[in-house]
Amino acid sequence: MPRRVLDGVLLLDKPLGLSSNDALIRAKRLYLAKKAGHTGTLDPLASGLLPLCFGEATKFSQDLLEADKTYEATMRLGIRTTTGDAEGETLETRDVACDEPAVLKALAGFRGDIVQVPPMYSALKRDGKPLYEYARAGQVVEREARPVTIHALELLACALPDVTFRVTCSKGTYVRTLAEDIGESLGCGAHLVALRRTAVGALTLEHAVTLDALSDADASARDAWLQPVDALLSTFPAVYLDEESARRFLHGQRLRLSELPQASNTAVASSESALNLPPDLPRVRVYTDGKRLLGVAKMIDGVLAPDRLVVTAS
């Protein structure tokens, strides 16, 4: 069957045991989509939110790679493994002598700005080769500690030796490493036994769909699960342009906002006027006054500089 030109975002609830790329391939096949990509991998042993981008939405997937993530995770105290999770072989077993108050105190020590040493079983590259290839060959290479931010870390359940927590963290955070480091602070070690991603930026599992549900649905029902391209950009301030300004913007011209006419949609102009925005912003989403997404731009000293443009209506 012919492939479709399809623009939009699918919030997929990825199942356990499936790689992110395999999940993408299945969804792309169901939609008969020409172009698709995902916004950051989830390991096969992890489940949860995996936003998939189709068509023009792929231009903005990088913004979700940069976004904060929220996970619910379970770690098992007293056992360290080669991979930091349940896939690895046991390295060491220790007695678990802590209690719930000790766990709460340990979690408090990992909130805020911390540093992590990336795990050997990761896709980070050294001399062009992923670290996991060195690890599988029995080699350990030096890794520099990297700063990450733990915005929130909350205990959900403590049924020792298992501890379940919710964490909201910056990009580049390894929850496996976080579990290992918490275990070390408790003096008994730990490894991750379950991981579920519940949010990516402002996107949550609330509106996500499973592959099984997509497979059972007809084409129109599947299309109803697609969200517009700007679902990826909801945290960016909005700028609305009149028809002539929109034409210039789509031709790559920079626009000084103070010199532009107000958008004709007065409700929009009064609630989200570009003139009320700070003069410098890393990203804004840009629309026609009819609310069609044109793309994203940077605000530099009150000038709207086109960054990534949408070439089809969304």
User: How far apart are alpha carbons 68 and 80 in whole angstroms?
Assistant: 27
Would you name the residues annotated as active-site residues?
43
pLDDT digits (tens, 9 = 90+) for 172-206: 899 999 999 999 999 999 999 999 999 998 999 99
Orientation of helix 175-185 relative to helix 100-108, angle to 10°: 120
Whether residue 11 contacts residue 210, with contact meaning beta carbons closer than 8 Å, is answered with: no
pLDDT in tens, 78-135: 999 999 999 889 999 999 999 999 999 999 999 999 999 887 776 777 777 777 777 7
Element at 126 (helix H, strand E): strand 125-126
* 3-state DSSP assignment of residue 289: coil
- Mapping DSSP to helix (H, G, I), strand (E, B) and coil, where does residue 20 land? helix
Residue 137 token pair? 């060959």
Question: What is the chain's mean pLDDT, rounded?
Answer: 88
Q: Which residues contact 244 (CB under 8 A, 6 or more apart)?
A: 261
pLDDT, residue 275, reads 54
Domains and CATH numbers, the chain: 8-66+202-231 (3.30.2350.10), 69-200 (3.30.2350.10), 236-309 (2.30.130.10)
Q: Which residues contact 167 (CB under 8 A, 6 or more apart)?
A: 70, 71, 73, 150, 152, 153, 154, 173, 175, 178
Confidence of residue 267 (pLDDT cuts 50, 70, 90): very low
